[in-house]
Amino acid sequence: MIEISGLTKAYGDTRVLDGIDLTVSDGQIAAVVGPSGAGKSTLARCINLLERPTSGSITVNDQDLAALSGKELRRARREIGTVFQSANLLRRLTAAQNVALPMRHQGVPEAEIRRRVGDLLDRVGMLHRANHYPSQLSGGQRQRIGIARGLALQPSMLLSDEATSGLDPDATRAILDLLTELRDDLGVTILVITHEMDVVRGIADVVAQLDHGRIVEQGTVADVVRRSDSPLSRALLPMPPVPSTDDRRPWTLRYRGDEVSPVWLSRAARDLGDIAVLAALVEASHGTPVGRLTVGLDPRLEPRRVVDVLAAHGVAAEPVGSQGLVTVASATSSTSGGRAEPAA
């Protein structure tokens, strides 16, 4: 487990990180997101102690790394493997030599290095590229080698700093699948620093948004999407463009119940009349249905009635162009669904 508490980092009078609190449980995949300049890269460098925090603690396996120095710090750093953007492989070394480098630096016996390098390259699907140089590998292949190198010292935590940035969609998906597999097989806790929301949706259990050096929102991906209409929520589940309609009043809908029936739409239509789906994005996040829709309803319907009917199905509703969501107690349907799909 990694626990960050009250973490600050200042350069002179400029405070880049301001009181960061973040906990990632054993075996979780957590993502930290934010715009350029939010402090993501500084946070990554503080976590692996490439930068010393100004104040606060970074506790990994009950050890506060920020309080260590010298030999104790070097030993504790082995618990955190790092995968950098563009892999940062040494171009004059082969794939196998790059993976072996951290072990040689730590004085691991050569026989053990050879065994472990072979195992790691096999695990990331790159054993057949062991003797290739970085220039002979694709971007996705270089990242696989970078992941193997990050695991070389058998860490309990893997820090991925923009590891999929610049990769094509297929390579990105392959890297995310690999990280998930490593978590499941090895029990490695993974912290992903990224600006790509598709990465968060595809891999993360929990997400935290960093903005101007502070965490402004965090929680499980499903909870963030369901509990609010915040910028992070909308970025995680963005809506496609909505076609115009002259004869219907547009409403934005958002799943917020723990269980939303896959036939909620047809059931709501019994009370509200025909519901025209203008745009929708509905999927499952770790088994929990999450979704956003824009629908067209009869403009003669009273707004309170619309909100109450949809709330009974675990769906929050707001007229497009309104100043805020009509206040209503959350309600969920009694019917449990797996992957939720809008039903006609």
Top-confidence residue, 274 or 321: 274
For the chain, what is the domain count?
2
- Gap between the Cα atoms of 210 and 226, Å rounded: 19
Do 106 and 78 share a domain, yes or no? yes
Asked if 219 and 157 sit in the same domain, the reply is yes
Shared domain for 156 and 186, answered yes or no, is: yes
pTM of the model: 0.79
Of 174, 197, 227, the position where a domain reaches its end is 227
Q: Name the E strands within 186-322.
A: 189-193, 206-211, 214-220, 249-255, 276-285, 288-297, 315-319
Domain that holds residue 291: 239-319
CATH of the domain at 243: 3.30.70.260
Q: What would the pLDDT profile of 27-50 be if each residue is shown by its tens digit?
A: 999 999 998 889 998 999 899 888
Inside any domain, residue 342: no
Residue 176 in any domain: the answer is yes
Instruction: Say yes or no: 131 and 19 in one domain.
Output: yes
Is 308 inside a domain boundary? Answer: yes
The whole-number average pLDDT for the span 289-293 is 85
Rounded Cα gap, residues 7 and 18, in angstroms: 7
Task: With respect to residue 338, please indicate whether it lies within any of the assigned structural domains.
Answer: no
**Percent of the chain at pLDDT above 70?**
92
> What per-residue string of b and e applies to 87-99 under the rule 16 or more CB within 10 Å gives b?
bebeeeebbbbbb
The model's pLDDT over 220-262, given as tens digits with 9 standing for 90+, comes to 988 888 877 788 988 888 877 776 767 889 998 999 877 788 8
pLDDT given at position 117: 97
Same domain, 97 and 202: yes
- CB crowding 261-271: b at 16 or more within 10 Å, else e: bbbbbebbbee
Answer yes or no: do 77 and 132 share one domain.
yes
Q: Is residue 67 situated within a structural domain?
A: yes
Read off φ and ψ for residue 290, nearest 5 degrees. -130, 145
- 283 in the same domain as 191: no
Is 199 in the same domain as 93?
Answer: yes
Which of 202, 227, 252 marks a domain boundary?
Answer: 227
- When pLDDT is cut at 50, 70 and 90, the band that residue 267 belongs to is very high
Domain boundary among 177, 205, 227: 227
What's the pLDDT score for residue 251? 93
pLDDT at 322: 58
Q: At a CB cut-off of 8 Å and minimum separation 6, what does 110 contact?
A: none
Say yes or no: 213 and 283 in one domain: no
Question: How do residues 93-119 score in pLDDT, each as one tens digit?
Answer: 999 999 999 999 989 999 999 999 999
Residues 283 and 211 in one domain: no
Distance of CA 29 to the CA centre of its chain: 7
Using DSSP, state whether 11 is helix, strand or coil.
strand
Share of the chain above pLDDT 90, in %: 55
Residue 333 confidence (pLDDT) above 60: no
Whichever domain contains 24, its CATH number is 3.40.50.300
| Res. 189 pLDDT band, cuts 50 70 90 | very high
Residues 196 and 270 in one domain: no
Is the separation of the CB atoms in 316 and 325 below 8 Å? Answer: yes
Is 124 a member of any domain?
yes
In this prediction, residue 61 carries a pLDDT of: 81
pLDDT band at 329 (very low <50, low <70, confident <90, very high): very low
Same domain, 276 and 133: no
